Amino acid sequence: MDASSCVRGAAHLADRVLGALRGSGCVGLAEFVDSCADATSGLGAVRLVGADVFLPHTVLDRPLSTGDAEVVAASMEVFPPVVAPATPEQRVMAWCDWTTARALARLSGDEPVAAPADPADVLGPAEDWARWSVRVAQLSSLAHPGAAGPVVDAVLAQPLALCRGVVRTVLRRDFGTATRLARWVGLLHAAGTPLPIDPGLLIEHVDLRVGAEPRRVLDLAVARHLVEATA
């Protein structure tokens, strides 16, 4: 197993999630891992896609199969969650891991898991909106229909910092980061927060330019769902 095979696997898996979101049925995590050259890199891909593997359940309310839940649980065992984050990157991973673990617990009926510490530790001050929004983008798997929790509350409270951040990424032609932030913009719109930009036009503008990388297309599909559900 190497890192690049995990990343390639994550792209394939994101494509399967996207297909499921568009109505092709279920993601079929066990089938996906079986299709990988080795199971470990398959589980690594599952970890990379993170809580987004549950999008068909959170967005379309599809039931989670026992097999899928077992694959996610196995991926957490092979690649254990970050428990004592020390660096900014680890703090981001800790929140992403918590989101995955929490979704797994909720869908499989297990005990809820404790959230990492104060979201301000991972996000930093919103006054420094350029840096803050980069962290928010890294936490995009937390932004989905029905999302809740301390980070979600913290981002919901900062529409101006978020919109400045996404406009900055579009102007810098960093459309990958823009798709991640578009999910948060969609979430704020869905929550009824007034925004100084048009979320639908943001999604269309980025969609025209971001290319076909499955994880970014998936981000935009989530953003679009959030915006259209409240249109």
Partner 1 sequence: MTAVARLAHTVTSGALGYLHANRQFGAFEDEVNSDLNDPDGVYKPLCELALAASLVLRDGVTGTAEQQAARELLDFTWGQLRRGDLLYERQLRHPVLTDPLEVYSHHARSGYHHPALARTIDVGAAEDSMTEVLPNRRMAVANAHRVVGVPRDDDFEAMLRQTWLGRTPQPWVVDWYTAYHMTHAAFHITDWGGRPADMPADVAAYLETWLPVWFDVWAEAGQWDLVGELLIVSACLPEPRFVESEWELFAGLQHAEGFVPRDAEPVDDDPRLIYQNHQHTAVVAAIAGTVALSRLLGGGG
83 binds partner 1 (CB under 8 A): no
Q: How far is the CB of 173 from partner 1 (least distance, A)?
A: 10
Residue 47 lies near partner 1 (rule: CB under 8 A) = no
Q: Which of 196, 211, 212, 231 binds partner 1 (CB under 8 A)?
A: 196
Between the two ends of the chain, the Cα-to-Cα distance in Å is: 44
DSSP 140-158: GGG-STT--SHHHHHHHT-
Q: Which amino acid is at 148?
A: A
> Measuring CA to CA, which residue among 15, 1, 10 is closest to residue 221?
15
How many Cβ atoms are within 10 Å of 66's Cβ, its own excluded? 10
* Only segment of 44-52, 109-117, 148-156, 198-206 that touches partner 1 (CB under 8 A): 198-206
Report how far residue 36's alpha carbon sits from residue 45's, in angstroms, rounded to the nearest whole number.
Answer: 10
Nearest approach in angstroms of CB 167 to partner 1 is 5
Binding residue count for partner 1, defined by CB under 8 A: 16
Residue 49 contacts residue 10 (beta carbons within 8 Å): yes
Q: Residue 142: name the closest of 198, 113, 103, 91 by CA.
A: 103
Quick one: which of 3, 120, 130, 148 contacts partner 1 (CB under 8 A)?
130
CB of 231 to partner 1, least distance (A): 17
37 makes contact with partner 1 (CB under 8 A): no
Residue with tokens 């979600």: 152
User: Interface with partner 1 by CB under 8 A: which range of 77-85, 93-101, 115-123, 164-172?
Assistant: 164-172
Tokens matching residue 197: 């930009």
Window of 96-104, 180-188, 196-204, 216-224 that interacts with partner 1 by CB under 8 A: 196-204
Q: Which parts of this chain interact with partner 1 (CB under 8 A)?
A: 129-130, 160, 163-164, 167-168, 170-172, 196-198, 201-202, 205
